[in-house]
Amino acid sequence: MKNIEFPQNFYWGGATAANQCEGAWRQDGKGESCADHYTTGTKEKPRRFTPAFDKNAKYPSHYAIDHYNRYKEDIKLFAEMGFKIYRLSINWTRIFPNGDDECPNQKGLDHYRNVFKTCRKYNIEPLVTMSHYEFPYHLTKKWNGWEDRRTIDCFVKYTTTIMKEYKDLVKYWLTFNEINTPLMGAGITMSLGMMPEQEQWLYGNGNNMSAQTANKIVKGLHNQFLASAKTVKIGRQINPNFKFGCMIASNVVYPYTCKPEDVMEAWKQQQRTNYYCGDVMVRGKYAPFTKDYLKDLGATLEIKPEDSEVLKNGTVDFYSLSYYMSGCATTDKSILEKNKNVFSTAKNPYLKASEWGWQIDPQGLRYYIDETYNRYTIPIFIAENGLGTTDEFINGEIHDPYRIDFLRQHILAVGQAIKDGAVILGYTVWGCIDIVSASTGEMSKRYGLIYVDMDDLGNGTLKRYRKDSFYWYKKLIETNGESL
Ligand code: BG6
C-alpha cells in the first residue's frame, strides 16, 4: 500500500505481560511479587501499594484474565489472527518464588515450556521478556530490590535457568521491560523492585525528584545494566543463535515553542530519558552527557573498574521499544502547570488525547525510530504500541473503529520509517487481548483485539470475543501490510 512495503519475514504479533494477564497468583507455587501488592485504581485515583493485603481492596494481578489457565485458548486465537510472534513475559516468581531460592520451581518451568510449545505448534515465535514490572517481593523487603548488588546474582541465576531450560524453544529475549521508566519518575517499585516511600508512589515527576531518590534510581539501573550484560554473555554461550534486545519506553519530547531554551530543554529530556539506558545497553558504555545529568540530579554513581568490561561484553543485538504518546518540554513553569500532560511534559496543542489523556501522535513513532536507528544502526523491534480505551460490548459484538484507526496510523508510521531506511524486525500490538492496565489497574482501559468479559472489579464470565480490530489485523497480517 501507498509505496510502503514490509519485509517478507516481518514479525507481526501481539504482546502481554505476566502480571497483567496471568492471574493464578497462588497457583503451582508462585511467590509474591511487587505487582501483587498493587490495588486497582482509576484515572483519577492512583493505585495503592500495600505491604499487607487490605481485605477491602482488589488486587488485579491475583486474578487478571486467567491467561495462566487459558493460554491454549488465547494462543489459538492469536494463531487465528496469523500472529508470527507472541511477546510474553516469564514471571520470575513462578520460577524462583522468593527470588533467592536454592532450586527453581518445577511447576513454573513446566508451565512456560507448555506455553512455548503451544506457540511453536502454531508457528508462532515467542519473544520473551525476562522481567516485566514483576519483582520478587521477598527481595524488596530483604535488599530493597535493585538497590543492592546482590540482586544481580539472583537475576542472573533466574535468567540462566530459563535460558538453559528453553534454549530450543525461544530465540528472542528482552532482559528488562521499559528499563528507563524510573528516569521519568515511574516504575520505581514495579521495575526497580524498591519499596515505595509513599503508598501511591507509582508515577512521579522525572524532572523533580529528590537527590536521594535519584541516587537510588541510578544505582538500581546500573545494577540492572550489569545483570542484563551478564545475561547476554551467558546466553550466547548457551545458544549462539539467541538474539537479545533492550526495551526502552520511547519518551518523545518536542519543544513546546521554538524558543531556543525550549528546544534545548526538549533535546536534553529526550537524550537523558531514552539514551541514558539505550547507550549502555547498545554501546556498552554511558553516554557523554551522563556526568552532567548526574550532577543535575544530585546523584553519584559508583562504577567499579570491572563493571566497564561487563557492560562492554554484553551489548544487545536489537533495540526494542514501546510507544504510546509524545509530550512537549518547556522551561516556562506556568505553561507546565496550566497544560499538564503525562509525566513531566506539557500538552501539545496540535494533538488529541485518548480517554486516559495520552496524546495520540503517530508521527512521533516514525520520528523516534528514525532518530534511534540512525544513532545505533541495529535492528529495531516495536514491542508495544496500542490504544487503551473503553469498548462497548453489545450482543457479543465490539465495534472499535477508533482502535483500527490508531493502529493503522501507527503501523503506517512504522512503514514510513522502513522507507526512511530503518531496519525493523517486527511489531507487536500491546495487550493484543484485553488485560489489566499497568498504570491504573483497570480492565476498562482496553487495548485488545480480543475482548475479555471482565469488569474493573474482576466480575464477568472471562469469555473471549473477537473485536472488529481482530479481523482487521488478521487481514493486515495475511497481506503483510498491503491492506493498510
Ligand atoms: C507500558 C508497559 O508502559 O505500557 C505495559 O510496558 C503497560 O506493561 C503499557 O500495560 C500500557 O500502559 P497502561 O498503563 O495503559 O496499561
Domain with residue 473: its CATH number is 3.20.20.80
- Note the pLDDT of residue 265: 96
Q: Is residue 2 part of a domain?
A: no
pLDDT tier, 199 (very low <50, low <70, confident <90, very high otherwise): low
* pTM of the predicted model over 0.95: yes
Residues spanned by the domain of 184:
11-478
pLDDT band at 206 (very low <50, low <70, confident <90, very high): low
Answer yes or no: is 5 within a domain: no
What band does 207 get if pLDDT is binned at 50, 70 and 90?
low
Q: Is the pLDDT of residue 2 over 90?
A: no
Residue 143's pLDDT is 98
Spacing, Cα 295 to ligand 1 middle (Å): 30
Assign 365 a pLDDT band (cuts: 50, 70, 90). very high
Average pLDDT in the chain: 95
Q: Is residue 483 in a domain?
A: no
- Residue 22 near residue 64 (C-beta atoms within 8 A): yes
Q: Strands, E, within 37-142: which ranges?
A: 85-89, 125-131
Length of the chain: 484
20 C-alpha to ligand 1 centroid (Å): 9
| 33 within ligand 1 shell (Cβ under 6 A) | no
Per the structure, the count of domains in the chain is 1
Question: Is 467 part of any domain?
Answer: yes
* pLDDT value for 179: 97
SS3 241: coil
Ligand 1 probe mutation, 40, 191, 273, 430, most atoms within 8 A of CB: 430
The answer to whether residue 38 scores a pLDDT higher than 60 is yes
Share of the chain above pLDDT 70, in %: 97
Block residue for cell numbers 506556568: 334
Question: What would the pLDDT profile of 74-125 be if each residue is shown by its tens digit?
Answer: 999 999 999 999 999 999 999 999 999 999 999 999 999 999 999 999 999 9
Report pLDDT for 326.
97
What pLDDT sits at residue 185? 81
Q: What pLDDT does residue 187 have?
A: 83
pLDDT digits (tens, 9 = 90+) for 312-361: 999 999 999 999 999 999 999 999 888 887 777 899 999 999 999 999 99
Q: Rounded distance, CA 288 to CA 269, Å?
A: 15
pLDDT greater than 90 at residue 209? no
Is 4 a member of any domain?
no
Q: Are 441 and 63 in contact (CB under 8 A)?
A: no
Query: Does 484 reside within a domain?
Result: no
- Nine-digit cell at 147? 538497590
pLDDT of 203 over the 70 cut: no
Q: What is the pLDDT of residue 465?
A: 98
Which pLDDT score, from 0 to 100, does residue 362 have?
98
Residue 174 is inside which H or E element, if any?
A: strand 172-176
**pLDDT at residue 381 is higher than 70:** yes
Tell me, yes or no, whether 168 lies in a domain: yes
Tell which wins on pLDDT, 188 or 16: 16
Quote the pLDDT of residue 198. Answer: 63
Task: Report the C-alpha gap between 262 and 255 in whole angstroms.
Answer: 5
How many A from CA of 445 to the centre of ligand 1? 10
Q: Whose Cα sits closest to atom 9 in ligand 1?
A: 438
Percent above pLDDT 90 for the chain: 91
pLDDT at 294 over 90: yes
Give me the mean pLDDT over the 424-434 stretch: 98
Q: Decide if 1 is inside a domain.
A: no
Catalytic pick among 125, 265, 384, 442:
384
How far apart CA 39 and CA 441 sit, in angstroms, is 7
CA 186 to ligand 1: nearest atom? 3
Per the annotation, the verdict on 178 as an active-site residue is yes
Q: Which of 322, 354, 359, 432 should be mutated for ligand 1, with most atoms under 8 A from CB? A: 322
DSSP line for 303-342? --HHHHHHHHTT--SEEEEE---EEEE-S-HHHHHHTB-S
Compute the average pLDDT of residues 443-456.
98
User: C-alpha angle 404/410/416, rounded to 5°?
Assistant: 135
Q: By C-alpha distance, which of 462, 395, 476, 344 is closest to 6? A: 476
Please check the confidence at residue 167 and state whether its pLDDT lies above 90. yes
How far, in Å, are 2, 266, 335 from residue 328 at the CA level?
A: 30, 7, 10
